[in-house]
Every structure is written in C-alpha cells, then in structure tokens.
C-alpha cells in the first residue's frame, strides 16, 4: 500500500532561513497596521493571520535553539 503522509510532512517548507522569514513577516505586519490606521487596508483579518505566522516562525526558531542546547 502507498504510505500516507502526515499533515506536517505534506507542508511545503520555505528554504530561506527562519530569521529572514521573521523579518519579512514583521515588516508585512507593520505595513498592514499602517494601512489599517490610514483606512487603506481592505481585509483587517490579515493582521491576525500575520501575527499567527510570526508566532509559528518564532516557535520553530525556539525549538531549534532548544534542540541545539539539548545536543550539547
């Protein structure tokens, strides 16, 4: 039978370093907030989604740091 992939395995992983992704998401969040206050933002839900993406990236970074400490 064919192996079934878990949802985690099926996700596409971005090849850029996590710190670069974090910087990009933080800049996008700042721009979205600026747009919200100037009434240019079409969809305010972008703010929540971007904050969650930032949190996910930070979680990955912290997990990698914890694994590095564990390996010492």
Looking at residue 53, its pLDDT comes to: 96
DSSP letters for 3-30? PPPPHHHHSPPP-S-HHHHHHHHHHHHH
pLDDT greater at residue 44 or residue 9: 44
Catalogue the long-range contacts made by 11-19 (C-beta closer than 8 Å, 24 or more residues apart). Answer: 18/57, 18/60, 18/61, 18/64, 19/61
Q: Is the pLDDT of residue 36 over 80?
A: yes
N-to-C CA span, the chain: 40
Mean pLDDT of all residues in 18-37: 95
pTM, full prediction: 0.74
Looking at residue 71, its pLDDT comes to: 79
Looking at residue 14, its pLDDT comes to: 57
pLDDT greater at residue 3 or residue 57: 57
């Amino acid at each position: 039978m064919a192996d079934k992939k878990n949802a985690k395995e099926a996700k596409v992983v971005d090849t850029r370093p996590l710190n670069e992704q974090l910087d990009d998401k933080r800049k996008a969040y700042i721009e979205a907030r600026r747009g919200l206050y100037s009434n240019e933002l079409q969809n305010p839900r972008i703010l929540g989604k971007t904050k969650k993406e930032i949190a996910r990236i930070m979680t990955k970074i912290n997990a990698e740091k914890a694994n590095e400490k564990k390996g010492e």
